[in-house]
Amino acid sequence: MKRTLLLLSILLSGFATSAQNKIKFESGKTFEENQLGIDIFYFVHHTFADAFYMTDLYKQLTDDEMYSILKKAYYSVTPDEKVLTIINQKRSPDARLAFAFMPKSKIGDILVLGTNFNSKSRVFEKEVAPNNSIYRWYAIKDGKLVYRKDLYSKEAEEENRRKNGYSLIGMYLFDDNFENDKEVKPLIKKLINSEKEDVEKLYGYLYLSEYWLSKSNLEKSKIAIKNLEKLFNESETIPNGYSLIVNMAKTEYEMMKRFIN
């Protein structure tokens, strides 16, 4: 825990910001390609959700602003240089998002996302909270960015197989086992055409959109999102709270559209 706190404190340290600038960056050189060899889709998939939705920043940032933050991180973080983003907050200390590379951890080379957002109080704080500041470690596996809890194991595979109709799809799409990638699309098709509950099919369309984004096919991803939204709007059984999934699917698409175009 002490090592983690020290790491977060170092990552999140940087200049002070002023009210005149909503977003400021501290980084080194910006390159034309990612210097860690990370695929754009897997970078976007993890970081947009954790940096913006886990911290509620999506409620105050536009798509272009979120993209500017991810773009700066993707093209500026290197083995030697971190990227620190500071976002002005009116009623709390400024939001800080730090992206940094760490080599040779227990799970191999990793990308770290550190924040000063307290998951318990739901606000950004001046100091890092011992147990509540949100941070993520992602393994870098042959171009894939893999959340540490999504690393493949036979036990996890069997557990996800038993859970429901969509958990195994999510595992195969985002784990570090490239051999099961070929199972993703058939499993999605099987789920969408099944008699499963609407909420499970909702995840089917979400993963279909993400599958096509992983192939840089914006047109087919957009169609999947339209079907996702249609199912949500017409279903009598999907709780209203799942509107967040629709919102996130649209944001993920918008981030990828900007990166690809």
- Map residue 106 onto helix, strand or coil: coil
Asked if pLDDT for residue 1 goes beyond 50, the answer is no
Please answer whether residues 255 and 66 qualify as being in contact, where contact means their C-beta atoms are separated by less than 8 angstroms. yes
Asked if pLDDT for residue 143 goes beyond 50, the answer is yes
Indicate the pLDDT class of residue 160, thresholds 50, 70 and 90.
Answer: very high
pTM, rounded to two decimals: 0.93
Structure tokens at 22: 């909503």
Please answer whether residues 139 and 151 qualify as being in contact, where contact means their C-beta atoms are separated by less than 8 angstroms. yes
Closest alpha carbon to 249 in 234, 227, 236: 227
Whole-number mean pLDDT of the chain?
93
Asked if pLDDT for residue 247 goes beyond 80, the answer is yes
Query: DSSP letters along 3-19, please?
Result: HHHHHHHHHH------T
Report the pLDDT value the prediction gives residue 18, as an integer from 0 to 100. 47
pLDDT in tens, 196-213: 999 999 999 999 999 999
Give mean pLDDT, residues 110-139: 92
Give mean pLDDT, residues 124-150: 92
> Which residue pairs from 229-236 have beta carbons closer than 8 angstroms and sit at least 24 positions apart in sequence?
231/198, 231/201, 231/202, 231/205, 232/202, 235/198, 235/199, 235/202
Asked if pLDDT for residue 7 goes beyond 60, the answer is no
Q: Which of these ranges, 44-48, 106-110, 142-146, 209-213, has the smallest mean pLDDT?
A: 106-110
Report the pLDDT value the prediction gives residue 116, as an integer from 0 to 100. 95
pLDDT in tens, 39-74: 999 999 999 999 999 999 999 999 999 999 999 999
High-pLDDT (> 90) share of the chain, %: 85
Please answer whether residues 115 and 135 qualify as being in contact, where contact means their C-beta atoms are separated by less than 8 angstroms. yes
